[in-house]
Structure 1
Amino acid sequence: MSEITPQLLLRAYAAGIFPMAERRESEELFWVDPQERGVFPLGGFHISRSLRRRIRQAPFQIAVNRDFEGVLAGCADRPETWINEKIFALYIQLHRAGFAHSLETWEGDTLVGGVYGVTLGGAFFGESMFSRRRDASKIALVYLMDRLIEGGFRLFDTQFLTDHLASLGAVEITRAEYHARLKEALQVRADFLSPGQPPDAQLLLQRSSQTS
């Protein structure tokens, strides 16, 4: 594969493909365009009763882009990962250019969970998430879903559908359906930062009830 630049990476996302590495130690990247694609229907996040109770307790502080690099490192901190040095460096560059964002959960000054992804038009391409406390990444996803809806997004791409994501409301669609939805979403002007500060727990749950 030729050298990947941030500009080439954005064009790849717009074409419906994304890069991965075989493992952390790999020097090469490869392009992926799954036959079946995982997506979260916007407003379709399943919040269980127990998760609603946890959110009401406000166990974490929620932040946006407070420590993007820390979220990336947290996602890569596992025995097996597709995030190698090239991936790490590319997404840091996308973040600095305003195309990659993180939604984070904090305990005081300690980053305990989060999710990151890339934005283009009205599409959010979820990349990875991590959790160092119970429900930290789930709560981050709830706040992320709220932000995407408030920011005017039309597509929440999860790349692949896992059992965990399916339990939260994600579904699988065909490659053709995904590319059709992506084409429509890219025509929309959405803004990840326009919603401002994350809402408090009561407002978050109220809005999630109205959209689910």
Structure 2
Amino acid sequence: MGDIGALVALLVVAIIGLSVLLYFIPVALWFQALLSDVKISLIQLILMRWRKVPPSVIVNAMITSKKAGIEITRNELEAHFLAGGHIQLVVNALISADKANLELNFKTATAIDLAGRDVFEAVQMSVNPKVINTPPVTAVAKDGIQLIAKARVTVRTNIRQLVGGAGEETVLARVGEGIVSSIGSSLSHKAVLENPDSISKVVLHKG
């Protein structure tokens, strides 16, 4: 019985040791990368663990980009991850932009991502403009009559101007200001009702 107990204990220790070894040396992940023609060594995968970078995130991103014909280096992906970026969103954005013939490089995509914007959604909005509805805006014309207006705004993202540019909340705020300004400068509420396009002109003029 003692020999059996010792054998079981040894087996348990061996299994735990093997699990720890495979965690730090992700052979399966390395083999998957090898089959996908992604050049990365076991040493590099081990070092990722020590740098607290999930090897699977980097390898999967490299495989995805490789299949799409987009060259991104391991160092670039690691650096972006360590900077707090979203690897998969950036890769998906680059692939989507490439398919839509949009000019977007890794540096620009990561800058957009680190600025707190959803870079993949931004690319989608460059291809398919998004329609957003403003909340009801209350304004008073010069004749003292109060009007409540709503607007539908079509937004198309300009990738080159996205970093530091206006987000959806800013767009809604500017449209709201334009509506208030347009109605407030009208001599009567009837003029607004008869020519609602005047509001659009003011909003567009304000940018």
TM-score over 0.5 for the pair = no
Which of 1 and 2 has greater Rg?
2
Whichever structure has more helix as a proportion of its residues is 2
TM-score of the superposed pair, with normalisation by structure 1: 0.24
Larger relative contact order (Cα-Cα within 8 Å, sequence gap ≥ 6): 1
TM-score of the superposed pair, with normalisation by structure 2: 0.24
Whichever structure has more strand as a proportion of its residues is 1
